[in-house]
Structure 1
């Protein structure tokens, strides 16, 4: 527990009660979605290695879409639609949630935000260095250096939802921020080192619907007298156009979801927001899209992305002996853990800050292990690195699956034990609350001040 001599400058502090309550509500909503996601992943692996494999791969690789003048990427396979289309909804909600944290949440303080952002860079650099060290003598294999650098937000949050329901909101926000920054870094890596055929014209054209999206989102209520529901009906087609233009530009389409999420306002004019006023646009969009994301979009994506033919135990053993596979697995499991934990420690030391007294370094290690789930973007980078038909491609996919599962298991083991600790702590604190229903631990009159120092008697 904390003590009276705890330093004022703290990292991963408890934060506000309203923030803790909001994050806890999101966790409850995502628990069912996380379970569906894991079931979809397991089912995909089973089907891909069963007599029904031909049917599974036939559906996954079937091309559907439409021919639209000026757009050449709207005819895609089912798996591509799931990855480049459905997953945008999840990234939109991620961008929206992160903006809330940076604007009105506990991460509006740059001193708090710098820690997960720096940790994300460390979690990218160390896995890349490990992969490069193992494959340095093989130029063709070295091209896949970026494969283990990504963290899959959907799976990482699913693990937290399943085993970390009582973890402090600061830890969950830390992982969420880290994962988003990590994926953004990975997308920039793809754009710089892997993307071919980049078309600046489409990216510039995308600025038009983005600007209109921002205008309607910010001024729709005051300038055009639009209710949140009416605004949503206008914003949806603008979002689709933005997504299509990003897809054509060569930039990974999911980044459009993050950008549009950041275009939605989370602070409103106080004069127009009476106490009994309806929910704002951010709340309306989140309420309508979160069930769609957690219950359909992300599980469908996982189902069509997770199916990898193992080739039996002999094929699995052969694949995992490839230097590319070794680099990926060690990068995801070891590199992420070391990179994130070490960077977090260095940042706190340079800032002369300590972790919140109720948070231990084992919590950071558990989150760092969970960040080794590098499924989505890692699979994409594997395809771009070696291309279909390469001897490294399937080996890389198997390594991504094995490494991600290993990271999920290790992270779950650590965080589940810590979750039990925090659950007991929360139950104890719930008994110590004022008449307002807010535990004293979140108030200046309780046992803790501000970010976490225990009151001196």
Structure 2
């Protein structure tokens, strides 16, 4: 018996969610291009005769020493700018689960399960490659577990412009959940020493920030200092400072209060902040972090071969490519197996594999975990960077091949979603049968106008339908 829309995996969501995701993708695609540009400049510079000047710039210290904030530019990018990135990611995730399609447990189960599978299997593969390896090698087990949102969505926009809205929403949500789980891993497993008083102090500005945003206060001169204080105390506590970005995001209300009209009165404060900060995150914070983190000297062809032969690089590369593909696809299959849900009839498991390979594009958070695991001056750090870059490129190539082969089918689905638009402007495929009104014409002709104006009526129209773009 065929499954109904209520128990289909990756089925079409709501029209409002499809529009919102399309807007997010456009911004993240630009950010992905800038991220790629920043990483490319860093790689070329770090392997040029001027490599020493790149290292000097990256290691330049800026900030007040009295507050223990005399950090290098590279550290400011990793700890400070990425906090903006995770603030936006936290807003995105909270909105999905409070006001988006994922407020339904049935829809939320799939991206959560896929993110968990996409983290566990790559970590297991990395451990298998590094059992009995060099001392400290296993500390990088979480490196291949992260998905880079900007990179994955940029590649997706280039290779498959007609991807169904359900798959795009799935990839976006999967990547956000994945990154936030990675932040939990960082907070638990990569905190060397915990300063409890500083951690407790961070809760004070965090609570005040939460109180103000719950009262719908938008004044930057109040909120920004509180956010900065939360970040500073979190940094001093020993927990990675980017955790502050996520915690701040979770305090922001998603829907309007009843006094302001309730959920139907328009976007809430979370969407307002996201609209303001996403361009800053995608267009500046993440590309600058990529510039300061991706500059690794590979030492020519021989040095590249030596790095790729290292067990750390191999574990990362196979974890990102094979681990993500197996973990995400396997988790999706398990959800379909044990919940009696079936894959949407318009899609195939090939689509899931292609999307899972895109999940193997680990960059931003993977580089962050690499620095925490091995330190910026170690040989393992450089080998891990090479593994991240190689795995990301290989995952992108394989995903491109699979999704491009399916792009004709995506074009058919996309065309179906655009036809039969009513007067309300919503395609019929997003509406229940009882909500579908009279079709809105996509163009008007002289005959259409004459039907409502007796003075303009001419001879009877021909029996042949008039094409929409007939030559005059």
Superposed pair shares fold, TM > 0.5: yes
Distance 1:347-1:139 versus aligned 2 partners, 3 A rule: farther
C-alpha deviations, 1:161-193, integer Å up to 9, x for none?
444443233323322332233233333333333
C-alpha deviations, 1:275-326, integer Å up to 9, x for none?
9989642333223212222221111111111111111001001111112211
**C-alpha deviation, 1:416, in angstroms:** 4.1
- Whether the 8 Å CA contact 2:127–2:315 is kept in 1: the answer is yes
Judge which range, 406-415 or 160-169, deviates more. Answer: 160-169
Gaps of 5+ in 1: 221-225, 449-457
Pairing of 1:273-422 with structure 2 (within 5 A): 273=261, 280-422=268-410
Aligned residues: 435
Q: Which residue is 1:32 aligned to?
A: 30
Pairing of 1:154-303 with structure 2 (within 5 A): 154-220=150-216, 226=217, 228=218, 230=219, 232-273=220-261, 280-303=268-291
Distance 1:162-1:301 versus aligned 2 partners, 3 A rule: farther
Distance 1:87 1:342 in 2: 30
Q: Which has the larger radius of gyration?
A: 2
**C-alpha deviation, 1:381, in angstroms:** 2.9
Matched position secondary structure for 1:143: helix
User: What is the aligned counterpart of 1:134 among 129, 133, 137?
Assistant: 129
C-alpha deviations, 1:105-140, integer Å up to 9, x for none?
100011211111111111122112212222212252
Distance 1:386-1:303 versus aligned 2 partners, 3 A rule: closer
Q: Which residue is 1:108 aligned to?
A: 103
1:46 equivalent in alignment to 2:34: no
Distance 1:114-1:49 versus aligned 2 partners, 3 A rule: same
**C-alpha deviation, 1:443, in angstroms:** 1.0
Distance 1:36-1:381 versus aligned 2 partners, 3 A rule: closer
Distance 2:119 2:323 in 1: 8
Q: Which residue is 2:21 aligned to?
A: 23
- Whether the 8 Å CA contact 2:147–2:360 is kept in 1: the answer is yes
Distance 2:245 2:407 in 1: 31
Q: Which residue is 2:147 aligned to?
A: 151
Judge which range, 418-427 or 78-87, deviates more. Answer: 418-427
Judge which range, 130-139 or 400-409, deviates more. Answer: 130-139
Distance 1:423-1:93 versus aligned 2 partners, 3 A rule: farther
Distance 1:447 1:11 in 2: 24
- Whether the 8 Å CA contact 2:126–2:319 is kept in 1: the answer is yes
Distance 2:263 2:370 in 1: 51
Q: Which residue is 1:9 aligned to?
A: 7
The alignment's TM-score, normalised by the length of structure 1, stands at: 0.88
- Whether the 8 Å CA contact 1:131–1:328 is kept in 2: the answer is yes
The alignment's TM-score, normalised by the length of structure 2, stands at: 0.85
Q: Which residue is 1:120 aligned to?
A: 115
Higher relative contact order (Cα pairs below 8 Å, separated by 6+ residues): 1
Matched position secondary structure for 1:291: helix
Matched position secondary structure for 1:304: helix
Judge which range, 353-362 or 139-148, deviates more. Answer: 139-148
Distance 1:262-1:275 versus aligned 2 partners, 3 A rule: closer
Distance 1:390-1:39 versus aligned 2 partners, 3 A rule: closer
Gaps of 5+ in 2: 437-472
Distance 1:149 1:387 in 2: 19
Distance 2:373 2:259 in 1: 54
Distance 1:345-1:242 versus aligned 2 partners, 3 A rule: same
Distance 1:309-1:241 versus aligned 2 partners, 3 A rule: same
